[in-house]
Amino acid sequence: MQKKIFLRLSLFLVFFFVACSSENEDPPIDMSNSITSEVIFHGTIEEITDETSAVVAVNSGDILNSADKVIVDLTKSADDIVFEVGNNVQVTYDGIVRESYPAQINTLHIEKIE
């Protein structure tokens, strides 16, 4: 009788330790307290999808590691700027790139450049 109890207890402990092991697991990321930064990239407007957004082909910037085309919010510019296809732009965003195609960002500012 004691052997059966000992065997069951041993098996329980083995399963417990195997199930609770956390080898190569990353802790969850808490984005609520993360500090976002401002990141800049340069690109060319390829398509204006409506009056408030455009698809921009990325020419330079770290965002090229994630995407070559980005949807940009055109309302984040000075009020008198009118954007057209072919305009070169400088885009400032918060550093977060949502994985889609074209990629999506939180645009902080956009301006024309020469």
Q: What is the pLDDT of residue 87?
A: 93
Higher model confidence: residue 105 or residue 5? 105
The model's pLDDT over 23-57, given as tens digits with 9 standing for 90+, comes to 555 555 545 445 558 899 999 999 998 888 999 99
Token pair of 110, please?
């956009």
Mean pLDDT of the chain: 82
Please check whether residue 56 is in contact with residue 67, taking contact to mean a CB–CB distance below 8 angstroms: no
Q: How far apart are CA 7 and CA 73, in angstroms?
A: 65
Our measurement of the distance from residue 21's CA atom to the centroid of its chain's CA atoms, rounded to an integer in Å, reads: 30
Count of other CB atoms within 10 angstroms of residue 45: 20
CATH of domain 37-113: 2.40.50.140
* pLDDT, mean of residues 5-23: 71
Q: What does the domain layout of the chain look like in residue ranges?
A: 37-113
In the predicted structure, residue 90 carries a pLDDT above the cut 80: yes
**Do β-strands 53-60 and 103-113 pair in parallel, antiparallel, or remain unpaired?**
unpaired
